[in-house]
Amino acid sequence: MTTQVIGHNKAQTYLQNSIKQESLTHAYLFCGPPSVGKTTLVSFFIERLFNAVDNFSIENNPDILWIKNLAVKKDISIDQIREIKDFLKLHSWNNNYRVVIIQQADKLNKEAGNALLKTLEEPTTRSLLILIVDNIHKLLPTIVSRCQVINLTPVNAEDMREWLSAHNVLKRDTETVIHLAQGNPGVAWNIINDENSLNNIIKMGNVLINFIKTKSIDQIVEYIQTEVLNQASTTKKGSDFVQDNKKVLILLKNWLEITRDLLLCKYQQFARLIFYSFKEDLVQISELLSVDQIVQIIKLIEQARAKIMSNSNTKLTLEWLLISIKTII
């Protein structure tokens, strides 16, 4: 058993007790924010259900069907649900449970959702169906009602701090990572496993902070041209276009979070800051801008992200954004 879950102690205890007491239900729904640890907790659950040993592999176990990596598909089709039904009809190879895990289950189309509902209404013996979703409200209420819901919320700072310490994260970086992750271990994991990640995030934030403080557009334009646009595509369409503009979208996400931090500073909600390491600058800027100005900047950044997601010209969109923000400040 190798999976380590950060936080979610009540959920861990509940799942382990359900196994020990043989009180498992036929369907579980794991929901919570992206990167909060849903998939990790599912792995933890399955390992204990199968009394896993060191060489246990969820990926290669014949009694487990894990439907994932669905991002390339628009939705989950009825053919995939039929595959699930056929899989659950078969007997276990090791006299254990037959388990189906559907990642991003909120991508079920209407036809697939109705088919899955029939499977939930007529469960087979010693079978488990596990759904993983970021937003429970995107599922049919009738599907939700037939599942045991495991609702995961952001992990508290103390659990995150203990985990980061165990991974030898420097104390000077720990609080920065905790605030950036906002209780989502997956986000923290990506940051600490990429030596350039934290520096890049700070750099992305700094250029916006300096732009708003100085109202000088030169530095931010140079950064965008050298660090962002050279990796972005202005010719591809669809999913390829979005993938090639991944760094642009990350940049705008960070800028959106910084601007929302300005609002939090307005109301002295410092503990909730994402870019906590910028606190001094954020407080200073928040005193110079009105709430209306900050809200306008937030709306502009959201519009820019939407434009790029809709395949608008990346360079022109960023130029429009900078000019619009400069007009406001």
Q: Which domain holds residue 13?
A: 9-151
Do residues 147 and 202 share a domain?
A: no
Residue 187 lies in a domain: no
232-255 burial string, b = 16+ CB within 10 Å, else e?
A: beeeeeeeebbebbebbbebbebb
Residue 3 lies in a domain: no
pTM of the model: 0.84
Residue 162 lies in a domain: no
* Whole-number pLDDT of residue 23: 95
Do residues 113 and 229 share a domain?
A: no
* Token pair for 327: 């007009």
What's the pLDDT tens digit per position in 80-125?
899 999 999 888 887 889 999 999 998 898 999 999 999 999 888 8
Do residues 218 and 309 share a domain?
A: yes
* Whole-number pLDDT of residue 1: 54
Question: Residue 312 belongs to a domain with what CATH number?
Answer: 1.20.272
Q: Tell me the one-letter amino acid at 275.
A: F
Strands 127-133 and 98-103: parallel
Residue 313 lies in a domain: yes
* Whole-number pLDDT of residue 73: 54
Quote the Cα angle for 34-305-232, to 5°: 100
* Whole-number pLDDT of residue 241: 42
* Whole-number pLDDT of residue 36: 97
Do residues 16 and 143 share a domain?
A: yes
Which of 93, 119, 151 is the C-terminal boundary of a domain? Answer: 151
Q: How many domains does the chain have?
A: 2
Do residues 217 and 268 share a domain?
A: yes
Question: Residue 25 belongs to a domain with what CATH number?
Answer: 3.40.50.300
* Regions of the chain with pLDDT less than 50: 234-242
Residue 268 lies in a domain: yes
